[in-house]
Every structure is written in C-alpha cells, then in structure tokens.
C-alpha cells in the first residue's frame, strides 16, 4: 500500500511535517513565505486557497500571534486565521488536525508537551482533531531540568529552564535542520508522529493503492 498523502498548511520549516513523515505519511507543505529548509515537497502559496483535493488528511498550524501571551505587546492587530481555517477543513470532508498555542479559540482534544516524549524541552501545544484522536501519554510533570524555549540560545536561567546553546536546543527539540528563528517557532516532530500514528487508522481505507 502506498503512503497516504498529508497536506501541511502554514507549514513553516517542517517540525510538524517530520513527525507525520515518521508516522508513515507523504507530506506536502504550503506556506506564504519561502521555506528553503523544509524537508519535503514544498509550495509557496496561500494556505487559505491552496487546493485540498488529492490528499488523504490535512494538518494546519495557523499563525498564533493573535493568541500568544505576547500579543498585547504588539501595536498592530493580528488576524484570526484559525477560525476560517477550521471552517475550510470542515468543508473538506477529510480527516484533519489543527495545532495552536494554549488559550487559542479551539477545542484542546490533545495537549502535548515535550516532557511526555522524554524531550528536554517544554513547549505546550493544543491540537484539535477530526476525527477525535485520544492520547495515551502521561501528563507532563515539569519535574526535571529542561532547556527554555522563551528567548534565543544564550545561557541565562529563566523560569522555564536554562537558555541553551543552539546545539543543545536542536537536540532538545529533536530537530537538526532549522535556523534559530525557525526553531523558535517549531514544534517537536514527536508531537505529530504520535498524532500521525493514530491518524493513519482514519485514512488507510481511503489511501490509494498501487
């Protein structure tokens, strides 16, 4: 059987994409900005209008600036792309996953953290899924040393951990192909590998066979 095809909207540099690839998907990324380090097939295009046909599942990570704790520090207003993205995915009829930051206007079907996967980083993310996917992972306990993801690599201690060197940060995230800026916005592939392994059960019946 061929690998199911997954469309990765608002793909960034490919942290989520790598997880789905490891789970068993062929991944195609779409982003409005160039992504020269994206590790799979990439198209620079508008994620809100890119065609959805020909795919077995969709992942979307709409920009989260409107919903972060730092949003109040910006003078300009950020648009809510999450709500229209969900509406578009619902109309598609395909299995889909939306990822965003805690506090976003979405249903947190899964709440994932690096500690659940034995990673040396805390980066909480919410996932809304259709169909519903259930995580069997233990809750994160925040009882061990991790590196901080708030700020750039350096060495100062913070409430979230120790600011690492760039090499330590890449190792903690299990990502070795991104720049510092790209890494600061990525999620560890372990999150979407866990989701993708469950999502396969929803798409296998419709995946194309040779």
The pTM is what?
0.86
pLDDT in tens, 22-58: 999 999 999 999 999 999 999 999 999 999 999 999 9
Q: Does position 193 have pLDDT exceeding 70, yes or no?
A: yes
Average of per-residue pLDDT across 157-162: 52
Average of per-residue pLDDT across 11-32: 98
Question: Residue with structure tokens 């969709």?
Answer: 58
Q: Does position 96 have pLDDT exceeding 80, yes or no?
A: yes
Neighbours of 149 (CB within 10 A): 22
Read off φ and ψ for residue 170, nearest 5 degrees: -60, -40
Least confident of 72-76, 128-132, 161-165: 72-76
Q: Mean pLDDT over all residues of the chain?
A: 85
Highest mean pLDDT among 74-83, 142-151, 196-205: 196-205
The whole-number pLDDT of residue 186 equals 94
Average of per-residue pLDDT across 143-157: 59
3-class SS shares of the chain: helix, strand, coil, % to 5:
30, 20, 55
């Amino acid at each position: 059987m061929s690998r199911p095809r997954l469309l990765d909207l608002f793909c960034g540099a490919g942290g989520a994409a790598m997880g789905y690839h490891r789970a068993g998907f062929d991944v195609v990324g779409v982003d409005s900005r160039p992504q020269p380090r994206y590790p799979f097939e990439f198209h620079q295009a508008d994620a809100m209008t890119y065609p959805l046909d020909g795919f077995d599942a969709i992942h979307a990570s709409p920009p989260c600036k409107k919903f972060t704790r730092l949003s109040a520090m910006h003078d300009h207003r950020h648009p809510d792309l999450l709500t229209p993205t969900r509406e578009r995915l619902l109309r598609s009829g395909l299995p889909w996953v939306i990822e965003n930051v805690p506090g976003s206007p979405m249903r947190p079907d899964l709440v994932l953290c690096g500690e659940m996967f034995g990673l040396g980083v805390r980066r909480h993310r919410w996932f809304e899924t259709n169909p519903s996917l259930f995580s069997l992972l233990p809750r994160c306990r925040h009882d061990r040393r991790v590196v901080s993801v708030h700020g750039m690599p350096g060495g100062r201690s913070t409430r979230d951990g120790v600011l690492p060197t760039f090499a330590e940060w890449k190792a903690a995230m299990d990502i070795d192909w991104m720049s510092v800026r790209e890494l600061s916005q990525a999620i560890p592939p372990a999150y979407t590998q866990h989701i993708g392994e469950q999502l396969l059960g929803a798409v296998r019946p419709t995946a194309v066979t040779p």
